[in-house]
């Protein structure tokens, strides 16, 4: 039972004793005491004034007198209809001891329900870029947060390994690659294939320009350019299981998967189950054919299949092209069907950018129309785009921030900054210094991206993210490392982190009290982040806790405190701040260095 629940029970007992009335839960309104008044929690008394038939100030005073009889409330002050309650120091020390005793503090009880979280969804025609970084970090963090909220979570990925965009890279490699491989070029496989996707676009634009120069209008030229016609023919051969096309596709995809795996591992994200569109699109086509037979969909004269969604306030949606090839929507129908066959999913969450909001509205309607009971329950976690100072990224033009290059830069910057802190890193090996730089660089990247409200677009600024001051990952990591340094020194002095009993009955300084109260808020922050699907809530909490600790550390001595009980309390408090900071940052996928 948390503090508010305990106070609510005390208030109900007080109202019953004073006025012989059973107070309903919704009548008990608690809020944090305003800073200009003494107190920790304030009770709004007005709901009881009519019951008591007395003035608000008198009712507040009467309830206050009852509450101070408990072991929790030490004193009170009444301001009109507001009763400001001061919580006894002994209660807060007991709360700290309870936090210390709980290894998985902040973890909510098991819900016995399963949530599937889909994120990443890369195309096998290009490497992961900055947009994928935000997607992966959000998806992984949401999964960790939901696990902390008691869900069993299956992290899943759907790889877009088929379609016209894949054929573009394949065709360009056939025409211009001269047999180049990741081994012969020294490039990661996903980077190599991405280069040929860009090459296709370059050559395609040349052909369009030539056709326009010959008098053809631009739209016709885009359709009739030889490269595009060849790519479309390759897609038809792929769907017809042409052995040569399939063999090339399999070989190039393997190159890409090896590159993806390397990037995912470095980024610190993982998946429990990976689906491939090449395996799901036929399931989708089968469902579309069933929908066509049942009258849920219709076929146009050119042979294409459509869904009429005008009665749902939308438009008409293409499901199969006139040549019989499928579209993304068809594939997603098949993937959803397979997932619900594979797992007893209670909630399906798609972590996909906000430019796909229409797509998921349509998917939900189509699945419902096809008779799948889970259709209406799908959740599209719609997040904002990552923007650069010079505008949006375009993969086919090669104007993206590559995920691997970005991580290299962040770690390199962290390494450079650590050189300015030689004194704090004396005695460590080069490998240890590199490991610290890795944790700090990637921590800076992850925190900078996750601290922004996920539903908002964000402007990426690497220099700002690596700052050791302000609301950044390195600032929180440095706070954790500072605490570890204190604890190591305590151990060197044969002073161990105490239990609550060794702290005795001490009075709390305002900075100590603020820290304990902040620690008590952690489970609520975890729950709110789960309810709102927002890692930013965890970021804000971790930053506030780090700020509170640094204020405490600046104003109060820990190891040099002459009062042994006070020293014991502050060591216990410091150890639990470190524990909670590490727990919170783990929900963001951020590792904490022991030294910085």
Whole-angstrom distance, CA of residue 95 vs CA of residue 520: 7
Please check whether residue 353 is in contact with residue 383, taking contact to mean a CB–CB distance below 8 angstroms.
yes
pLDDT > 50? residue 394: no
Quick one: which H or E segment has residue 570? Answer: helix 564-587
pLDDT > 60? residue 388: yes
Lowest mean pLDDT across 107-116, 173-182, 316-325? 316-325
Please check whether residue 106 is in contact with residue 523, taking contact to mean a CB–CB distance below 8 angstroms.
yes
Task: List the chain domain ranges.
Answer: 3-87, 119-397, 407-587
Helix (H, G, I), strand (E, B) or coil at 507: coil
Please check whether residue 193 is in contact with residue 126, taking contact to mean a CB–CB distance below 8 angstroms.
yes
What spatial distance separates the first Cα and last Cα of the chain, rounded to whole Å?
38
The confidence score (pLDDT) of residue 420 equals 61
pLDDT > 90? residue 541: yes
pLDDT > 70? residue 66: yes
* Per-residue pLDDT tens over the stretch 359-378: 999 999 999 999 998 988 89
Whole-angstrom distance, CA of residue 115 vs CA of residue 301: 42
DSSP sequence for 228-254: HHHHHHHHHHHHTT-HHHHHHHHHHHH
Tokens of residue 215, six digits: 């008098």
Please check whether residue 202 is in contact with residue 146, taking contact to mean a CB–CB distance below 8 angstroms.
no
- Give backbone dihedrals phi and psi of 447, rounded to 5 degrees, phi first: -65, -40
Beta bridge partners of 517: none
pLDDT > 50? residue 568: yes
Tokens of residue 248, six digits: 């090339």
Nearest one of 357, 542, 382, 395 to 457, comparing CA atoms: 382
The confidence score (pLDDT) of residue 498 equals 65
pLDDT > 80? residue 502: no
Whole-angstrom distance, CA of residue 357 vs CA of residue 483: 44
Cβ atoms < 10 Å from Cβ of 397: 11
**Sequence-ordered list of residues with C-beta below 8 angstroms from that of 596, at least 6 positions apart, any chain:** 418, 421, 424, 425, 436, 440, 474, 477, 478, 481
Whole-angstrom distance, CA of residue 391 vs CA of residue 578: 39
pLDDT > 90? residue 557: yes
The confidence score (pLDDT) of residue 460 equals 80
The confidence score (pLDDT) of residue 464 equals 78
The confidence score (pLDDT) of residue 395 equals 43
Q: pLDDT: is 158 or 468 the higher one? A: 158
> Which runs of E-coded beta strand occur in 224-365?
273-276, 298-299, 305-308, 316-320, 347-353
The arithmetic mean of pLDDT across residues 557-586, rounded, is 95
* Per-residue pLDDT tens over the stretch 205-247: 999 999 999 999 999 999 999 999 999 999 999 989 999 999 9
To the nearest whole number, what is the mean pLDDT of the chain?
Answer: 92
Q: What is the dihedral of CA 187, 459, 124, 166, to 10 degrees?
A: -110
* Per-residue pLDDT tens over the stretch 21-42: 899 999 999 998 998 999 989 9
The confidence score (pLDDT) of residue 471 equals 92
Relative orientation angle of helices 130-148 and 243-267, to the nearest 10 degrees: 60
Structural Rg of the chain based on CA atoms: 30
The confidence score (pLDDT) of residue 397 equals 47
Please check whether residue 305 is in contact with residue 319, taking contact to mean a CB–CB distance below 8 angstroms.
yes
What fold characterizes domain 407-587? Isoleucyl-tRNA Synthetase; Domain 1 (1.10.730)
Highest mean pLDDT range out of 284-293, 320-329, 378-387? Answer: 284-293
- Top-level class of domain 3-87: alpha beta
Whole-angstrom distance, CA of residue 17 vs CA of residue 434: 65
The arithmetic mean of pLDDT across residues 129-148, rounded, is 96
The arithmetic mean of pLDDT across residues 371-387, rounded, is 90
pLDDT > 80? residue 396: no
The confidence score (pLDDT) of residue 377 equals 87
Q: pLDDT: is 538 or 1 the higher one? A: 538
* Per-residue pLDDT tens over the stretch 399-448: 578 899 999 999 998 988 877 654 456 678 889 889 999 999 999 999 99
- Percentage of the residues of the chain whose pLDDT score is greater than 70: 95
Whole-angstrom distance, CA of residue 351 vs CA of residue 145: 14
- Give backbone dihedrals phi and psi of 129, rounded to 5 degrees, phi first: -125, -170
- Top-level class of domain 119-397: alpha beta
Q: pLDDT: is 174 or 428 the higher one? A: 174
Q: Is 354 exposed, middle or buried (0-12, 13-18, 19+ CB in 10 A)?
A: middle
pLDDT band at 398 (very low <50, low <70, confident <90, very high): very low
pTM of the complete model: 0.90
């Amino acid at each position: 039972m948390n503090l508010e629940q305990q106070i609510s029970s005390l208030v109900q007992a007080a109202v019953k004793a004073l006025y012989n009335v059973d107070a309903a839960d919704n009548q008990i309104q608690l809020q944090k005491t305003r800073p200009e008044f003494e107190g920790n929690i304030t009770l709004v008394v007005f709901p009881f004034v009519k019951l008591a038939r007395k003035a608000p100030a008198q009712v507040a005073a009467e309830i206050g007198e009852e509450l101070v009889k408990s072991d929790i409330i030490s004193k009170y002050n009444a301001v009109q209809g507001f009763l400001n309650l001061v919580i006894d120091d002994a209660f807060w020390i007991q709360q700290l001891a309870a936090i210390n005793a709980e290894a998985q503090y902040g973890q909510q009880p098991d819900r016995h329900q399963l949530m599937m979280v889909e994120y990443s969804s890369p195309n096998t025609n290009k490497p992961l870029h900055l947009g994928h970084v935000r997607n992966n970090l959000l998806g992984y963090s949401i999964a960790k947060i939901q696990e902390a909220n008691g869900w069993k979570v299956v992290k899943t990925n759907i790889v877009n390994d088929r379609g016209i965009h894949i054929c573009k890279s394949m065709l360009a490699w056939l025409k211009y690659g001269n047999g180049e491989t990741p081994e012969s070029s020294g490039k990661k496989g996903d980077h190599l294939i991405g280069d040929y996707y860009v090459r296709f676009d370059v050559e395609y634009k040349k052909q369009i320009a030539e056709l326009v120069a010959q008098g053809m209008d631009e739209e016709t030229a885009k359709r009739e350019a030889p490269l595009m016609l060849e790519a479309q023919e390759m897609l038809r051969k792929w769907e017809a299981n042409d052995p040569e096309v399939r063999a090339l596709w399999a070989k190039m995809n393997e190159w890409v998967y090896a590159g993806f795996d390397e990037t995912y591992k470095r980024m610190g994200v993982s998946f429990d189950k990976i689906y491939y569109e090449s395996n799901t699109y036929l399931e989708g086509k089968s469902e579309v054919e069933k929908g066509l037979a049942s009258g849920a969909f219709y076929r146009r004269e050119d042979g294409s299949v459509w869904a009429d969604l005008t009665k749902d306030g939308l438009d008409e949606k293409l499901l199969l092209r006139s040549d019989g090839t499928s579209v993304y929507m068809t594939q997603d129908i098949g993937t959803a069907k397979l997932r619900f066959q594979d797992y007893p999913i209670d909630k399906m969450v798609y972590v996909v950018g906000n430019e796909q909001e229409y797509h998921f509205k349509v998917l939900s309607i189509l699945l419902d129309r096809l008779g799948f009971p889970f259709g209406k329950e799908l959740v599209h976690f719609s997040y904002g785009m990552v923007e650069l100072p010079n505008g949006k990224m375009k993969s086919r033009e090669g104007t993206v921030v590559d995920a691997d290059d970005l991580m290299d830069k962040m770690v390199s910057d962290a390494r450079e900054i650590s050189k300015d802190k030689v004194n704090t890193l004396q005695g460590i090996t080069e490998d240890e210094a590199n490991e610290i730089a890795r944790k700090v660089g990637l921590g800076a990247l992850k925190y900078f991206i996750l601290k922004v409200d996920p539903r908002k677009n964000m402007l990426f600024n690497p220099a700002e993210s690596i700052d050791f001051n302000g609301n950044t990952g390195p600032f929180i990591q440095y706070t954790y490392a500072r605490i570890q340094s204190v604890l190591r020194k305590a151990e060197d002095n044969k002073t161990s982190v105490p239990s609550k009993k060794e702290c005795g009955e001490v009075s709390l300084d305002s900075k100590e009290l603020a820290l304990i109260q902040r620690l008590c808020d952690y489970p609520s922050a975890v729950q709110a982040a789960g309810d709102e699907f927002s890692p930013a809530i965890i970021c804000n909490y971790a930053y506030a806790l780090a700020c509170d600790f640094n204020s405490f550390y600046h104003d109060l001595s820990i190891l040099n405190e002459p009062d042994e009980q006070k020293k014991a309390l502050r060591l216990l408090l410091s150890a639990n701040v470190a524990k909670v900071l590490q727990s919170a940052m783990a929900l963001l996928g951020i590792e904490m260095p022991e030294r910085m």
